[in-house]
Each structure stands twice: as C-alpha cells, then as structure tokens.
Structure 1
C-alpha cells in the first residue's frame, strides 16, 4: 500500500531539505514515545520512515516517481467519481446481470447458474469490470455461487428484479437490442 510521506510530514512535495528537517524535528519531539503527553510510537515510526526516505536525494527521487504515479491514480479516481455517466452505466450493467440470471433461473430451476466466462460474454462486460458488479450484487445478497461454482440469482435478487419491473414497466428483461 502506498504511503504519502508528504502527507505524513504535512509538507508540500516541493519542500526543501531545511523545511523537511524543521518539520521532522517538530513531529519527532511531539510523537516520540518518551513524550508522556503526546507520544505515539506508531506515528513516530511513520514520521521517521518518511523523513529517512525524503531526506536522501536518491530515495526521494525514486519515491517521487511512485508519488506521481499514485497522484495520477487519484486524479483518475476523482475524474471517474465526478462522471455520472459511469455510475449510470454501472446501474445498467448490474440490471443486465440480474436479468440474465433471472431468465436463467426461470428457464432451468434445477441448474440456475451461469459460469464466469459465459456471464462475461452475455453481459458484454470485460472480466476486470465484471468483478466489481459481481462483488456488489453478492454483497447485496442478490446473487450467489451455487454448488457447481456458477453464479445464480437469489430470492432477494428475484425480488429486486420484480420490484424494478413494477417501478418501470418499460423495462424488458434480456432485451439485447436495447443498449
């Protein structure tokens, strides 16, 4: 897991060596385990680790590469979070998955599951994206793995599909022409 050493020391990534030393001394005195009022061994260790990395020019240069990569990931997450189209698309994919599993359960109650590869193909959703939706639907209790390892809709999932259908009668299950 990436640790933001600049955040740990509460300094800018542009901070010079004098600033790093001054801030380090302040936090080291404050969080040193011998300080009876504000000592915190875990926080102290974190501060020492951050300081040791950022004070060494070679280690800092290596760390800054990882820091920029992490900052890029944060930026991507922020952009994705502000894009409501992604959330709308997720809702559609989850509804499609439930519809597929609903239809499979109705078609063959004794063998209600669909395998991962087939579910990926039928939902037209790549495996790396499908994992999020399967996690969510499982966590809600709307789908589950059955004995043979395939994924099937649960009673709660059937209730969910039925309640969505009642709210919006224009929803048609497994309408592959829509989308």
Structure 2
C-alpha cells in the first residue's frame, strides 16, 4: 500500500529540505510519546518514517517516482469516476453476460455452464475486463459456478434479466395488462 509522506508531513511535494526539517521538528515535538498533552505514538512513527524517506536526496528521488505513479493512478480513478458512461457500459456488459448464460441454461438445463474462455470469446471482452462483472453478478447471486467450474445463471439471475428485459420493452407490459 502506498503511503503519502507529503500528506503525513502536510507539505508540498515541492518543499525544500529546510521546510521538511522545520515541519518534522514541529510535528515530532507535538506528537512525541513523551508529550503528555498531544503525544501520539503511532502518529509520531508515521512522521519519523516520512522524514527518513524525504530527508535523504536519493531516497526522496526514489520515493518521488512512486509518488508520481500513485498520482497518475489517482488521476485515472478520478477520471473514471467522472466518466458517466462507464457505469452504463458496465450495465450493458453485465446484461450481455446474463443473456448469454440465460440462453445457455434455456438450451440445456442439465449442462447450463459456460467456461471462462468461452465467455471471453462470446462476450468479446478480455478476461481481465470480465473479472469485475463476473464478481459483481456472482456477489448479487445472479450467477454461480457449476460443479465443473463453469458459470451458470441462477434463478435470481433469470428473474433479474427478465425484469430488466420487461422494462426495456413496454409492449410486454402492455400485453400482460391486456391479458386480464
């Protein structure tokens, strides 16, 4: 797990060595375990660790490489969260997976599963992209693993897919209403 030493010391990544030392001394006195009013042993340990990594120019340069990589990852996560289409795409992929598994179960109720590689091929999604969707559908109880390790749709998955399908087709609801 990445630890943000700049955040711990509450300084800018552009801080010079004098600033690092000054802030370290301030926090060290404040959080030292011997300080009866504000002492905090775990906070003190974090501050010492951050100081040790940032005071040495070589260690700091190595840390800054990791820091920039971490910032890039945070930026990617923030961009992904702002992209409203991501969740819509995920819903489409999940609906397609349920449809594939539904058709397979419908065709052969005794052998309803589809293997990982076949799911990858049929869905057009690489395995690493499918993992999230398979995890989600499995956690919701919409799919499960069969005895031979393949994925199969569950009763809840069929009900869920049927509900979604009915919402997308108002004529199906209208037909049900006219049957009364």
TM-score normalised to structure 2 length: 0.89
Which one has the largest radius of gyration?
2
Where does residue 177 of structure 2 map in the other structure? none
Q: Which has the higher contact order (CA 8 A, sep 6+)?
A: 1
Which residue number in structure 1 is paired with residue 68 of structure 2?
68
* RMSD across aligned positions (CA): 1.4
| 2:119 matched residue in structure 1 | 119
Q: Does 1:98 align with 2:92?
A: no
* Aligned residue number for residue 158 of structure 1: 158
Unpaired runs of 5+ residues, structure 1, are 171-179
Q: TM-score, normalised by structure 1?
A: 0.89
Going from structure 1 to structure 2, the CA distance change for 1:36 and 1:113 (only over 3 Å counts) comes to farther
**Offset at residue 24 of structure 1 (A):** 1.3
Structure 2 unaligned residues grouped into runs of 5+: 171-180
Question: Aligned partners of 1:127 and 1:33: how far apart in 2?
Answer: 50
- What is the aligned partner in structure 1 of residue 24 from structure 2? 24
Partner of 1:10: 10
Matches within 5 A, 1:137-176: 137-169=137-169
Aligned length: 170
Deviation for aligned residue 1:71 = 0.8
